[in-house]
Structure 1
C-alpha cells in the first residue's frame, strides 16, 4: 500500500494570500491613489474625490459637483524563501507573485442639497501566486488565483451642515482557481513517483453593504466611521484529479465541489485635522474580524472517501491596523502626501501555510495630486511594504518567508 500525502481544498483557493498587497489577510487596500499617498490614513474622514464611495459613503455629501474617478494600482512583490526543509526534494526560488494590476472606478452626483448618489467598482479581496513546478512546497500549494469584484450603488444624506451619513449595498463576485501537486511515496523506497495533480475551480455571488458617518467636529477637525459588512458565499465548482497511479487511479476524474466561506466585516475610523493653510494631518484605525476564518470545509460530490470531505484548520484571529499621514499644499495646483501604516498578520507561526506566508507589515507611502484645472485632477502614489520574517510549518515542509513589495497607483478625476 502506498502512502499518499494528499491534502487539498477549495478552501486554499480562498485562503491563499501570498501576494503582499498593502492590507493583510485577504484584504486589498488599493482602491484609491489619493488615499494611498497618505498610507490610507484618514480614509473615512477625508473626502478627496469620488473614491469616498469606498472610503466612506457619507463623504459623497461633501462633493459639490458630479465626479468620475478611476485608476489602476500595480503591485510588484518579492519573496525570499530561506532555510527550507522538506521530506521530498524540490526548489525554493520564491518570487511566486506575478506583477499584479488592481483597477478601480467611481461615480458621484448630487441629487439636491442633501442627497447624493454614487456607484463604485473595486477589488476588496484578491491574490495570485504561482510557484515553480518543482517547488519543494508544491504539495501544499502550487498555483492560486482568487478575486472578489464588488459593485456598490450608494446614497448619502446630509443631516445638517456638520453631519452626513451614507449607505451602499454591495454585490460581490468571487472566483478562484487552485492547483497543487500530490506526492505518492512507496514505503520501500525514498524515491517519489511522478506527481499527481489536483485542480479546483469555484465561484459565487454574495451580498453585503457598506455604511458610514462623517462629522465635522469643528472647522478644522473631521471624524469618520465606516462599517463594511461580512459577505456569505457558497462557492460551487469542480475538483479535478489526475495522474494518480495504480490502485489510486480510481480517484482520477472530476467532481462537483462546494464550499461555504464568509469574508470578514471591518470597521474603519479616522480623523482629519487641517493644521493650517498648508498642512493637513491624518490618522486612522481599522479592525477586521478575521476570526471568522477558523476552518474551511470542502464537499466533493460522488468523490472517493479521501476526497469526499476535506477540512482544513486556519485559526485566524481578529486584527487591528493603524496609519498616520500628512499632506502639504505646495501651491494651488500641487499637493504632496506621505504616510506610514502598520498591519498585523491574522495568522501565526503555528498555523501559517505555504498559501498564507504573511507576517506583520510596515508600509511607507508617498504621493502627489496635480490639479490641472477646476475640472481635472491627477493623483499618483508609491508605497513600499516590508514584512517581518514569517515561518511556515507544514507537516512535511518548513521554511522562512521574507516578503516585500513595491506598489504604484495613479488616478484621474473629472468633474462637471
Structure 2
C-alpha cells in the first residue's frame, strides 16, 4: 500500500485526537469550571471580580489583595444525551452505498468526570501581587461501543490538560489594576477508532493514537473600578499545540494487512482559541451586586490540524468564531451568607455539514445557582450547581477512509444529537492567610 494510504490513516487518527469536545460545558472542547464561586452565577462576572478565585480569567484580579489568598475547587460533570444514526451510509470499493450497520443509538457517550482547579496569590507590596493558577481547561473522555454506528469517527477518546498560569498584577492608580501572566500548558491525548476492511463480511480494523506536549500562551488584563462598579477586560492568547505521539494500526485484512504496524514519532499541530473577555460587576444596593460578562472565542484559528514529516498534510476543521453571554447576581443574605444565580448562553463553533460524532457540539443554555458560607473570617466555602441544556443538532460530515487511493471508502455521516444536557456540581473553598 502506498505512503498516501498510510498518511490518510494517520491523519484520520490525529484529526480525531484533538477534536474531543462533544457536549462539553462551555464550548467545543473548552471547560470553564475553574471556580466554585463563578459556577454559582453561571460565570457572569469573573473578569471583573477580585482575588485568587478569578485569576484564570484576569490576572489583574489580585492587584489589591491585602493578604495571601488560596482558592481550590472541584467540579463533577454529569452529562447525558443520545447520538443517533439517521441514515449513515458507507460505500466499499466496487460496491454501492449501504447502511453503516451497528447500534443506531449511542447513549451517554460523554463520560462523567471531575475537573479540579486551584489558585494562590500573595501581595509583595500594597500595590503589587503575584500568584499562580492551576487549571484543566481542555479535559474530556468519550466512549462509544465497538459496534456503534459512529465507530469509524469515534470509539474511545481521552484528553487531559494542565494549565499553569504564573501571574503578576499591579495597582497603577486608585481606579486602575493591570496584570499579566504566562500560560504553560501540558496536553495528553489518546483515542481509538475503527477502520473499515474492504468487505463488510470482515471485522473492522482498529486505530489507536496517543500524543502529548508542552506549549506556551499568555494572558493580560485590566480592571477599572470605583465604589460601586468594576469593569474588567482581559485577553487570553491562542495557543499553538505541538504534540508528538505514536499510532498503532491493527486488524486490517487482505490488501490492507500490510498497514498493520506501530508508527512512532508522528507529530501534529493545532490552535486552541484566543478569548477576549469583557465584563462588569455593579453594586445595585448594599446587598445586591449585578454581574455581566461576554466572551469572544477565536475558534476560526482551529481551521486545520497540520501533520509534520513524513506526512506533511493538513486535516481541515473549519471551526468558526463563537460567543458566550452571561448575566447573574450576588445577594448578601447576611454577613456570612451570599447567594448567587445566573444564566449563560453560548454558541457552538462547529458548523453544519462539518460536525461529526466525536464532536456532537451545539448551542446551549447554562443555568446556575449557588452561594458562599463564610465559615470563619479567613475561610469561606463556595458551592455551585449548573444545568446545561444543549440544542438538538445534526451530525452530518462527509468523510472517506483511504481517501485518494484505489480503495477509497466514502462514509456519509447522517445523525443527530438529541436530548443532551449536563448537571455540573462544584464545591470549593477560599482561604486568607
Alignment TM-score, normalising by the size of structure 1: 0.93
SS in structure 1 of the partner of residue 231 of structure 2: strand
| Residue aligning to 2:101 | 89
1:266 to 259, 275, 293: 275
Aligned to 1:413: 430
Distance across 1 between alignment mates of 2:285 and 2:173: 25
TM-superposed CA distance for 1:202, in Å, is 0.8
After TM superposition, give the deviation of residue 310 of structure 1 in Å.
5.8
CA shift, 1:300, in A, is: 6.9
* Structure-2 residue corresponding to 1:360: 363
Rate the CA distance shift 1:247–1:21 in 2: closer, same or farther, 3 A. closer
Aligned partner (choices 307, 312, 332) of residue 315 of structure 2 = 312
Task: Tell me the equivalent position of 1:305.
Answer: none
Q: Which residue of 2 aligns with 1:122?
A: 135
Is 1:70–2:72 an aligned residue pair? yes
Q: Deviation per CA, 1:346-383, whole angstroms, max 9, x where unpaired?
A: 01221111111111011000011000111100000000
Q: How does 1:211-250 map to 2 (within 5 A)?
A: 211-216=220-225, 218-250=226-258
Match of 2:158 in 1: 145
SS at match of 2:63: helix
The answer on whether the counterparts of 2:21 and 2:358 sit within 8 Å (CA) in structure 1 is yes
Instruction: Note closer, same or farther for the CA distance 1:83–1:253 as it changes in structure 2 (3 Å cut).
Output: closer
Match of 2:208 in 1: 199
> Structure 2 regions of 5+ residues with no counterpart?
89-98, 399-410
CA deviation map 1:20-75 (0-9, x unaligned):
3321122110000101111111110122x412221211010232210111110110
Picking from 5, 21, 24, the partner of 2:27 is: 24
Residue 223 of structure 1 deviates from its aligned partner by: 0.2
Q: TM-score, normalised by structure 2?
A: 0.89
Which residue number corresponds to residue 255 of structure 1?
Answer: 263
Report the count of equivalent residues.
402
Q: Distance in 2 between matches of 1:139 and 1:83?
A: 13
Q: 1:185 offset after TM fit, Å?
A: 3.4
Alignment partner, residue 382 of structure 1? 385
Structure 1 CA distance, aligned partners of 2:391 and 2:325? 16
Alignment partner of 1:283 out of 283, 289, 292:
292
Q: Distance in 1 between matches of 2:24 and 2:153?
A: 22
Q: Is the 8 A contact 1:34 1:369 kept in 2?
A: yes
CA deviation profile, 1:85-113 (whole Å, cap 9, x unmatched): 22321112320112111000111111111
1:44 is matched with which residue? 47
- Distance in 1, Cα, partners of 2:377 & 2:351: 49
C-alpha deviation, 1:312, in angstroms: 2.6
